[in-house]
Structure 1
Amino acid sequence: MDGASEHPELWAFLASLTPGERMSGTVAAIESFGVFVALDDGPAHPLFPGVGFITHPELAWHHFDEASDVVQVGQRVTCEFLQFDTWNLEARLSLRAMRPDPFQEFADRVEVGQTLHGEVTKLVPFGAFVRLTGGIEGLVHRQHLTSGPAEEVSDVVRVGEEMAVVVTEIDRSRRRLSLARRQEPSSDSP
């Protein structure tokens, strides 16, 4: 399908949009692959429930299981325009771009070496993920879980366990937080 010749009004509308532009509309449909938005401005889409489309990663900064955990059909949304998808003739949108990135806010107020408290949320062969205040998660690599020889992660820590951790690295560009388990001073010391 040649979108420019078959749907000139829609093509012209989408081609006129600028990345970063704010667009408002109504959530028209929630699918397993993303969310369609019927935009307030511009023509209707010939095939889809809306000209706007939000992929799952662009819905929210936090982890969610279903798109319906973030938006509902009929909900009004304001999004940032990302790009013109010329194949599907749709405006790719970001809902999360309209909110501050909680990881960057966290990185603004936390420093390497700082001690924090969190809850173990997931065990993996190479370490444990710990959720801190604000829902930010970091990884405690298995070598930083215990002062002894590296054991199985499940022998050292359990999901749901509260833990004191030290921030060892904040990678803003990759949105990754590295942590180490804070070792409590031994009560046997003189």
Structure 2
Amino acid sequence: MDWQSESPELWAFLESLRHGEILSGTISVIERFGVFVALDDGPGHPAFPGVGFITIPELSWRHIDDPTDVVEVGQRVSCEFLQFDTYNAEARLSLRGTQPDPFQAFADHTTVGQELRGTVTRVFPFGTFVEVGDGIEGLIPSAEVHGRLASGPGESFRPGDEATFVVTAIERPQRRMFLSRR
């Protein structure tokens, strides 16, 4: 569809937005792939239930299983404008962009070699995720389970296991922390 000619008011509104601008609106629909937002100052969308859209990763800094863990239909939100999606004629938004990144604050007080108590959250063939703070997770690569490649993801850890781990690396730009068994 040629959104520019079909809905010139919508197109003009989206072109006027600037990266980083804060927009307010109401959550109109929650889908498994993201959340539609009816923006206060924007026109309606001819095909979607809102001119704003938040992808799942942009809802929260923390890992979430379902969008309803963060928002609900009818909720008022303020979001950061990321970009104009010209294909869908929508404003891509970020709810997490309006909140401080808890990983960076955690990294300010954590050093390589530090021991942390944690709980295993997820186990995959490539490694094990461990929560070591409020929503802060680190990865133990499979090769680090016993200093050798594990035969399978469940060899040493199961979700819910608690133990002490050592921080082996913190990568701030990528928001990653690597751990090893104590």
Query: Runs of at least 4 residues of structure 1 off by over 6 A?
Result: none
Q: What is the root-mean-square deviation in Å for CA atoms of aligned residues?
A: 1.8
Alignment match, 1:67 = 67
Q: What is the rounded CA distance, in whole Å, between the counterparts of 1:158 and 1:65 in structure 2?
A: 18
Match of 2:57 in 1: 57
* 2:107 is the alignment partner of 1:103: no
**Is 1:42 matched up with 2:42?**
yes
Give the Cα–Cα distance (whole angstroms) in 2 for the partners of residues 128 and 32 of structure 1.
Answer: 25
Q: Percent of aligned positions with the same letter in both sequences?
A: 60
Which consecutive residues of structure 1, in runs of 5 or more, have no partner in the other structure? 183-190
Give the 3 Å change call, closer, same or farther, for CA 95–179 of structure 1 in structure 2. same
Q: In structure 2, do the counterparts of structure 1 residues 150 and 37 end up closer, same or farther at CA, with 3 Å as the change threshold?
A: closer
> Structure 2: 5+ residue runs without aligned partners?
none
**SS in structure 2 of the partner of residue 9 of structure 1:** helix
TM-score, reference length from structure 2: 0.90
Displacement of 1:8 in angstroms is 1.4
The 10-residue stretch of structure 1 (85-94 or 155-164) with the greater mean CA deviation from structure 2: 155-164
For residues 57-105 of structure 1, the C-alpha deviation after alignment (integer angstroms, 9 at most, x for no partner) is: 1111112222122111100000000111112111111111111112112
Which of structures 1 and 2 has the bigger CA Rg? 1
Could you tell me which amino acid in structure 2 is paired with residue 107 of structure 1?
A
Shift of 1:126: 3.8
Count of aligned pairs between the two proteins: 181
- Is the CA contact 2:114–2:167 (under 8 Å) kept in the aligned structure 1? yes
Residue 137 of structure 1 aligns to a residue in which SS? Answer: strand
Matches within 5 A, 1:123-134: 123-134=123-134
**Cα offset for 1:53?**
0.8
Aligned position for 2:154 = 154
Q: Using the TM superposition, give the Cα deviation of residue 5 of structure 1 relative to its aligned residue in structure 2, in angstroms.
A: 2.2
2:141 aligned with 1:141, yes or no?
A: yes
Residue equivalent to 2:14: 14
TM-score scaled by length of structure 1: 0.87
